Amino acid sequence: MQWHKPMAKGFTLIELMVALAVLAILAVVAIPSFIDFRERAAVRGAGDQLVSFWANARLEALKRDRLVSVSIKKSGATMCMGASTTSTGCDCFTAGACDVDQYPATQADWRGVTIPTALKPTLGATDTDDDGLAIIDPKRGYLATATDVGGVTIQSPGSNAYRLQLYVDRWARPYLCMPTDSPRILPDYGTRTCAP
């Protein structure tokens, strides 16, 4: 009777090293694309939140048949939005200070998106601080003062610095557009430049 030595099962060291090298190359190629995707998704999500908040504030003005002031506040790298029935706006950084609505509950909801340091909200004609304020007229759903048009520019976290701007027109319609000073272009907003 002849004994056969059983074949060893498994990978050789060379096969394992080649497989690890291929995985490392794929990771090096995929990680920048994934980071870029996350930054674009974060700024789009924050932009959608801004538009949604504004649209809800406008609806509340019509539903309550009262003036609703919308304020966008910036403090360093943090920001918030508040809607109130007072003409002076509300401090959205204080929980419960806004009688209509406020966003976010925590700054983590922005997913790292901020207002660029050198910029400030431009909502409201006489705005000179880091706050933007506009009032929605409940009768027509327009801005109470035509010169309150404007908005706020937001920037993605990370090194790509994607920017979007919430722009509110005279008829209190919010939309997202690409600011002219944006370092990187989001493909689906490349043709939507902001109104002056």
33-68 pLDDT per residue, tens: 888 889 989 999 999 999 999 999 999 999 999 999
pLDDT score recorded for residue 68 = 94
pLDDT score recorded for residue 126 = 56
pLDDT score recorded for residue 136 = 92
Tokens for 34? Answer: 């994934």
Counting DSSP H helices and E strands in the chain, the numbers are 1, 7
Which of 54, 52, 84 lies closest to 67, judged by CA?
84
Give the number of C-alpha atoms closer than 13 A to the C-alpha of residue 174, restricted to the C-beta side: 23
Query: Any idea which fold 14-189 has?
Result: minor pseudopilin epsh fold (3.55.40)
pLDDT score recorded for residue 108 = 87
- H/E segment holding residue 43: helix 13-64
Taking the domains of the chain in order of start, what are their residue ranges?
A: 14-189
Rounded mean pLDDT for each run of 10 residues along the chain, 196 residues in total: 68 89 90 88 92 93 93 87 90 90 89 86 70 89 88 87 89 87 77 67
> Is 173 within 8 Å of 51 (Cβ atoms)?
no
pTM (whole model) above 0.85? no
